[in-house]
A and B are shown apart, each in its own frame.
Chain A
Amino acid sequence: MAHMGVESERIHLSWVSSAESTKFVRVAKEVTEAVRALGPNRRFVKSQGPDRSLNDEKAA
């Protein structure tokens, strides 16, 4: 994914046992902080076709 241009800070992989609650909290915090810092994802987001532009117009 990173090789294709998805920001590497957005990609996380962890192994957490159901008994490792503190690790889960730590990982969840790390992931959300790293991703929040990057802002909304624009890549690998499928466009909704003509419908979306219609909605955008309505919203405007």
Chain B
Amino acid sequence: MIDYIDKIKQISKQILTDCRVDMVIGFRQGTVPMMNEPCFAKTVDDVDAFVWDSHCGINLANYLTGRKEKIGIIAKGCDTRNIVTHIIENKIDRDRLYIIGVPCRGMVDRRKVNALCDSIYEVTEQGDTVKVTGENLDRQLARADLLQENCTTCVHPNPVIYDELVADEVEVHTDVDRWADVKKIEAMGSDEKWSYFDDLLKECIRCYACRNACPLCYCPTCFVDESKPQWMGKGQDETDVRTFHFLRAYHCAGRCTDCGACARACPVGIDMRVFTRKLEKDCFDLYGWEAGLTLDVRPPLDTYQADDPEEFIK
């Protein structure tokens, strides 16, 4: 993946020079290892700060909401699906965008690397290996073993919408059980499910980082911040915590692309994707729907069809 960077810089500089865009949104090196941060390049010189490696997991579509400029954006498969969703939901015009598509081989889960030792000094990569240097640690690891959970089952690594691709499309997994994680929970009894989610959410501090990192969460006032009416308690009460996660997931039903930005942003390491995953699977099973694959079809929760499934109505 690191070999993409020259092409990314070249295209970015070109579109800025040609004034096709006012800025290009990409990534630059973060202040700590594995934490690349978004970078808004407005001049050709700014582009030199761009990086591309396995730590570009943030979903850049999140920075497009309501923008009025002409924007170049560097987008992975999941990012482009969120861009499609943004266009469908009138959050950005297609005409304003120049999408630089990046075929994605998956992003590294920094928690898996951080688990190796107390402090990581440097993480570099070469092809399929990742070299980790840290306190009393100097190891080469297979990139495939360090991927984020959502990347291991991703079936849309290639951009679905783009103006230019930085490389040839990558091979798509066909031998994965996409829904193994959801099925595992579905197979539990209700007591087991309840305690599973209790356990999952017990560390939640209600910082809303998951919401803020999500490109789907763009309401001017989120339901959790409303005070008139106040929909739910704002404290650490476990019912409120659960209500927040449960409703946040519902707001993403039929829209979530499982980019993993929420879980990635969580400071206490909760994988709240288990909520959105269930809804993603339901949308797939009931309506054959996967979010953000096309501009031409309205999402299932947006339309009515006479043959919509209704077995749940008694």
Contacts and interface: CB of A to CB of B under 8 A. Distances in A.
B313 interface: yes
A12 B314 CA distance: 8
For chain A, which range describes its interface: under 10, 10 to 19, 20 to 34, or 35 or more residues? 20 to 34
B270 to A, nearest CB: 14
Nearest to B197: A4
Contacts of B185: 3
A16 B155 CA distance: 41
Interface string B5-26: 0000000000000000000000
A27 B314 contact: yes
Among B193, B233, B312, chain A packs the most CB atoms within 10 A around the CB of B193
Interface string A1-29: 11111111000111100000000000100
B186 interface: yes
Contact of A45 (B194, B239, B312): B239
Contact of B278 (A3, A15, A30, A47): A3
Interface in B240-292: 240, 242-243, 246, 275, 278
| Central interface residue in A4, A14, A15, A47, by most chain B CB within 10 Å | A4
B190 interface: yes
Contacts of B314: 12-14, 27, 30
Contact of A6 (B190, B275, B278, B312): B190
A1 B247 CA distance: 10
Given A13-B313, A30-B314, A46-B233, A4 B240 contact: no
Bin the interface of chain B by size: 20 to 34
A13 B246 CA distance: 19
Contacts, number: 46
Nearest to A31: B314
A12 B197 CA distance: 22
A47 B197 contact: no
B278 A44 contact: no
A43 interface: yes
Contacts of B196: 5
B195 interface: yes
B95 interface: no
Contacts of B240: 46
Contacts of B313: 13-15
B193 A4 contact: yes
B302 interface: no
B163 interface: no
Contact of B190 (A5, A13, A15, A46): A5
Nearest to B239: A46
B237 A47 contact: yes
Contact of A4 (B194, B237, B312): B194
B191 interface: yes
Interface string B225-241: 00000000100011110
A14 B314 CA distance: 5
Interface of B: 185-186, 190-197, 233, 237-240, 242-243, 246, 275, 278, 312-314
- 9 closest pairs, A vs B, by CB? A5-B194, A5-B193, A46-B239, A14-B314, A7-B190, A3-B278, A5-B190, A15-B313, A4-B197
7 contacts: A1-B246, A3-B185, A6-B190, A14-B314, A44-B239, A46-B233, A49-B237
Given A6-B194, A13-B314, A43-B194, 16 more contacts: A1-B246, A3-B185, A4-B197, A4-B246, A5-B195, A7-B190, A8-B190, A13-B313, A27-B314, A30-B314, A44-B242, A44-B243, A46-B237, A46-B240, A47-B237, A47-B238
